[in-house]
Amino acid sequence: DTGVSQNPRHKITKRGQNVTFRCDPISEHNRLYWYRQTLGQGPEFLTYFQNEAQLEKSRLLSDRFSAERPKGSFSTLEIQRTEQGDSAMYLCASGARDRGGTEAFFGQGTRLTVV
């Protein structure tokens, strides 16, 4: 399967713990996006990488959140000192540079539950 892969699919953690999610994009894609989706809402943009450079971060990405994409391949999203409000589906998407209307391919997401 050459789609976007996210691990783990589900994560339950206690409030205050740190968690890390991984995203493996489609190999030829240089762009990688993280989104967060809560129940009944559409995905909300968190951050964007072009190759290894993090070019944009949303105001939603508090200081407790950090994302990396070393070597421009896979990416990790870490949440420190988790709070119940962090419970959501975290989606990763990848895409290739285009003139516009670039299609983003999404992974199946990591569902985080903070108890």
Partner 1 sequence: GNSVTQMEGPVTLSEEAFLTINCTYTATGYPSLFWYVQYPGEGLQLLLKATKADDKGSNKGFEATYRKETTSFHLEKGSVQVSDSAVYFCALSLMQGGGNKLTFGTGTQLKVEL
3-state secondary structure of 85: helix
Six token digits for residue 13: 């953690």
Per CB under 8 A, contacts with partner 1 among 81-100 are 91, 93, 95, 98, 100
Q: How far is CA 112 from the centre of its chain?
A: 12
Which of 6/82 has CB closer to partner 1?
6
C-beta atoms surrounding 82 within 10 Å: 21
Angle at 82 between CA 76 and CA 88, to 5 degrees: 70
7 belongs to the binding site for partner 1 (CB under 8 A) = no
7, 45, 52, 68: residue in contact with partner 1 (rule CB under 8 A): 45
Q: Does 1 bind partner 1 (CB under 8 A)?
A: no
| Interface with partner 1 (CB under 8 A) | 4, 31, 33, 35, 40-45, 48, 50, 55-56, 91, 93, 95, 98, 100-109
